[in-house]
Structure 1
Amino acid sequence: MLRLVSLQLMVTVVAGAFAALLGGMPAMFSAVLGGLCCVVPNGLMAFRLYVNSKTPGGVNPFSFFIWEFIKIALTLALLAATALLYRDLNWLAMLAGFIVALKSYIILLFRH
């Protein structure tokens, strides 16, 4: 899970650099913020599942679904906060950064 989160972070940085080339600094910040809206909730969920796996009972399906709900709610909250608080938001760059980070697991599927 840590590999996936670190890959998402790297892909977010690459998407931000690409957006900076195409649209300047506001597009770069928008793409990076969009990617972070995906990376932060996934990292939090991965950390919590790792901590739960080290407990004597292990990870149960109920805690997994609770953390999945928290991850989705946090993702929506971060996207809304980005849209409300960043004045120079480039919507296309933000959504592109979010989607690239969200779908970066495909890279890991084709590595093996």
Structure 2
Amino acid sequence: MLRLVSLQLIVTVVAGLVAGLLGGWHALVSALFGGLCCVVPNAIMAGRLFLNTMRPGGADPISFFIWEFIKIALTVALIGAAAWLYRDLNWFALLGGFIVALKSYIILLFRH
């Protein structure tokens, strides 16, 4: 899971740089925010699931579904916070950064 979160972070930075070259400073920041709206909840969920596997009895399906719900709620909250707090938000760049980070796991599928 650490490889996936690291890859998502790297792809987010690359998407931010591309957006910055194409759309300027506000597009760069918006794409970074969009990618981080995907990376941060995934990192939190991965960390919690890893900790759940370390306890006696291992991880259970209920904890997975609870943390999946928390991840989705946190993603929506972060996108809302980005829209509310950053007045010069470029929605196209934000959604582009989010989708690129979300679909970056495809790179790991073709790696082997």
**Counterpart of 1:42?**
42
**Counterpart of 1:85?**
85
Q: Percent identity?
A: 74
Task: Give the letter for the 1:23 counterpart.
Answer: G
Task: Give the letter for the 2:105 counterpart.
Answer: Y
Q: After TM superposition, which residue ranges in structure 1, 4 or more long, deviate above 6 angstroms?
A: none
RMSD over aligned Cα atoms: 0.4
**CA distance in 1 between partners of 2:64 and 2:57 (Å):** 13
Task: Give the letter for the 1:81 counterpart.
Answer: A
Kindly report which structure 2 residues correspond to 1:1-112, keeping only aligned pairs within 5 A, or say none.
1-112=1-112
Structure 2 residues not aligned, in runs of 5+: none
Deviations 1:69-91 (A, max 9, x none): 00000000000111111011000
Shift of residue 57 of structure 1?
1.4
TM-score, normalisation: structure 1:
0.99
Aligned residues: 112
Deviations 1:61-106 (A, max 9, x none): 0000000000000000000111111011000000000000000000
Task: Give the letter for the 2:80 counterpart.
Answer: A
